[in-house]
């Protein structure tokens, strides 16, 4: 019997292809929107999380200056830069940390032969490679003597190598950084883009002391990156460093901090939950159009029942029970909405597949949402098809037969 109901439904739908298509348009759009939203949302989450993680896991980033209050309206508090003594104090007094990397950065032109390239100069020490989990592709890290002595040696990122040493071996070559000749001792592996799209490989790394003396001309450490042994300890280590630095910077109890400690894991979580909320919100909006699509189906099914009153009368007179007529129209509504759901799924997936490269996010196929969308569109058919189907089933056979 249910097979016959399906055959009847398919026939009724094919009889009126144009109308059926328009009827399911709402469902198609709704499902396609939900699928696209979730697929692109998931892609964005993955992308953002990846780029945050590329900053290093379990990393705390210390910067001088702070924001009071929240949001863009908050005032900023200036604070003095850190010093190498702060770095030593953290290394000696704080437990549970792997590495502490002081950093002093500047923008500078680097020159090799007749080529030059504007890039970021970072002065630091070997802990930086630990914190950033950034191994060498070729060459070596700095020696202790180079770090202590502030020698003119450097490690370059792959972008700098590609720009200045196309096809050549950069190791041992002399790179001029702000007119300072500097021997290249290592080349870093590629790390790719960071969040916001800036190229992490566009960098030249020198010993901290070299940068301080020969480029920035002061003793400032502008950023300190700390790698914690496990992310479970992040909060404790952060609090310890906070207390230590407040003491060292003589911030009395009750006064605001004049520096900031960012917890990368925490940022990753925040961003992740933000994109998740956003995705859910947009999907909910899209789901509303599914409901609108359901109302469209109900509308057309009601029209269809009125048009086919005579047919229903005949069927009731020659052996159909109420439930047979109910099943006939319910199945028709469900088949319609499932067709809409299927088409919507295909359009949604295809659409996001082509949108993914434009948004520069990965294509994340989510089978759960596809199954959910399919099930939901079926449910829409049942819910919105029920009322018209019941109307059909409850028709009085004689009146239905008399209907013109």
Partner 1 sequence: MRDSETAAAAAGAQPVGELTGVTKVYGHGDTAVVALGGIDVRIDDGEFIAIMGPSGSGKSTCMNILGCLDTPTSGSYRFRGVEVTTLTRNQRALLRRNYLGFVFQGYNLLSRTTAFENVEVPLIYRGLPVAERRDRVREALAAVGLESRGHHTPAELSGGQQQRVAIARAIVSQPTLLLADEPTGNLDSKLSREIMELLVQLNETRGITIAMVTHEPDMAAYTRRQVRFYDGLVMADEPTHGATRLSAARQATR
Minimal distance, residue 329 CB to partner 1, in Å: 15
Q: Which is nearer to partner 1, 236 or 310 (CB)?
A: 310
DSSP annotation of 215 reads I
Which one among 89, 160, 320, 380 touches partner 1, defined by CB under 8 A? 320
Q: Which of 114, 12, 26, 18 is nearest to 337 (CA)?
A: 26
Among 71, 72, 319, 367, binds partner 1 (CB under 8 A): 319
- Site for partner 1 contains 211 (CB under 8 A): no
Least distance to partner 1, CB of residue 20, Å: 15
Q: Determine contact, residues 216/104, Cβ cutoff 8 Å.
A: yes
Residue 327 engages partner 1 in binding (rule: CB under 8 A): no
Give me the 338-377 binding string for partner 1, x by CB under 8 A, dash otherwise.
----------------------------------------
Q: How many helices (H) and strands (E) does the chain have?
A: 13, 12
166 binds partner 1 (CB under 8 A): no
Site residue total, partner 1 (CB under 8 A): 19
Contact between 310 and partner 1 per CB under 8 A = yes
SS3 content of the chain, % helix, strand, coil (to 5): 55, 20, 25
Nearest to partner 1 of 247, 399 (CB atom): 399
- Binding part of the chain for partner 1, among 43-51, 210-218, 287-295, 396-404 by CB under 8 A, reads 396-404
Residues 6+ apart with CB under 8 A from 403: 309, 310, 313
Indicate the residue among 4 and 169 with the shorter CB distance to partner 1. 4
For every residue of 355-400, DSSP letters joined together read HHHHHT------HHHHHHHHHHHHHHHHHHHHHHHHHHHT--HHHH
Asked if 318 touches partner 1 (CB under 8 A), the answer is yes
If one asks whether residue 183 binds partner 1 (CB under 8 A), the answer comes out as no
Half-sphere exposure of 110 (CA within 13 A, CB side): 30
Burial per residue of 231-262, b for 16 or more beta-carbon CB atoms within 10 angstroms, e otherwise = eeebeebbebbbebbbeeeebeeeeebbbebe
Q: How far is the CB of 362 from partner 1 (least distance, A)?
A: 50
Select 136 or 314, whichever has its Cβ closest to partner 1: 314
Residue 324 binds partner 1, judged by CB under 8 A = yes
Question: With binding defined as CB under 8 A, does residue 19 bind partner 1?
Answer: no
Phi, psi of 259 (to 5 degrees): -150, 170
CB of 312 to partner 1, least distance (A): 11
Residue 107's DSSP bridge partners are 120
| The two structure tokens encoding residue 48 | 């953002």
Span of 60-68, 72-80, 314-322, 344-352 interacting with partner 1 by CB under 8 A: 314-322
Which member of 132, 161, 209, 315 binds partner 1 (CB under 8 A)?
315
Q: Is 220 in the site for partner 1 (CB under 8 A)?
A: no
CA gap 151, 307 in Å, rounded = 91
Segment near partner 1 (CB under 8 A); pick from 19-27, 171-179, 245-253, 395-403:
395-403
Tell me how many degrees the CA angle 6-8-11 measures, rounded to the nearest 5: 110
Output the six-digit token pair for 299: 């509308």
What span, in angstroms and rounded, lies between the C-alpha atoms of 186 and 178? 19
Between the alpha carbon of residue 26 and those of residues 126, 266, 328, 361, 371, the distances in Å are 60, 40, 22, 28, 19
Nearer to partner 1, 362 or 397 (CB): 397
401 is a contact residue toward partner 1 (CB under 8 A): yes
Among 32, 301, 316, 336, binds partner 1 (CB under 8 A): 316
The stretch among 28-36, 213-221, 281-289, 393-401 that binds partner 1 (CB under 8 A) is 393-401
CA 13 to chain centre: 41
Segment contacting partner 1 by CB under 8 A, of 31-39, 144-152, 197-205, 320-328: 320-328
Query: Which residues contact partner 1 by CB under 8 A?
Result: 1, 4, 15, 310-311, 313-322, 324, 397-398, 401
């Amino acid at each position: 019997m249910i097979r016959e109901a399906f055959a009847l439904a398919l026939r009724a739908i094919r009889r009126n292809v144009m109308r059926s298509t328009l009827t399911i348009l709402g469902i198609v759009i709704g499902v396609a929107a939900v699928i696209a939203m979730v697929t692109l949302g998931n892609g964005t989450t993955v992308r953002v999380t990846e780029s945050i993680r590329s900053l290093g896991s379990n990393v705390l980033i210390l910067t001088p200056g702070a924001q009071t209050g929240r949001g863009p309206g908050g005032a900023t508090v200036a604070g003095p830069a850190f010093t190498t003594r702060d770095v030593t104090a953290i290394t000696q007094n704080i437990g549970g940390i792997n590495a502490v990397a002081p950093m002093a950065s500047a923008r500078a032109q680097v020159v090799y032969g007749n080529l030059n390239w504007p890039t970021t100069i970072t002065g630091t020490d070997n802990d930086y490679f630990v914190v950033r989990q950034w191994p060498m592709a070729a060459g070596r890290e700095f020696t202790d003597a180079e770090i202590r002595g502030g020698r003119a040696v450097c490690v370059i990122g792959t972008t700098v190598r590609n720009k200045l040493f196309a096809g050549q071996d950069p190791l041992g070559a002399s790179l001029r950084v702000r007119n300072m000749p500097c021997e290249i001792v290592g080349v870093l592996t590629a790390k790719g883009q960071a969040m916001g799209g800036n190229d992490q490989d566009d960098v030249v790394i020198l010993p901290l002391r070299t940068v301080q003396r020969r480029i920035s001309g002061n003793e400032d450490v502008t950023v300190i990156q700390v790698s914690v042994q496990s992310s479970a300890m992040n909060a404790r280590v952060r609090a310890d460093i906070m207390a230590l630095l407040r003491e060292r910077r003589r911030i009395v109890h009750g006064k605001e901090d004049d520096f900031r400690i960012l917890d990368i894991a925490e940022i990753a979580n925040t961003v992740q939950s933000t994109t998740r909320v956003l995705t859910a919100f947009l999907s909910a909006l899209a789901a509303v159009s599914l409901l609108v699509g359901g109302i469209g189906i109900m509308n057309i099914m009601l029209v269809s029942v009125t048009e086919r009153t005579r047919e229903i009368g005949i069927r009731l007179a020659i052996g159909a029970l109420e439930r047979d007529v109910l099943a006939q129209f319910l199945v028709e509504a469900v088949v319609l909405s499932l067709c809409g759901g299927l088409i919507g799924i295909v359009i949604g997936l295809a659409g996001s597949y082509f949108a993914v490269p434009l948004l520069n996010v990965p294509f994340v196929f989510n089978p759960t949402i596809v199954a959910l969308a399919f099930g939901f569109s079926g449910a829409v058919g049942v819910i919105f098809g029920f009322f018209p189907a019941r109307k059909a089933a409850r028709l009085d056979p004689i009146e239905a037969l008399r209907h013109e």
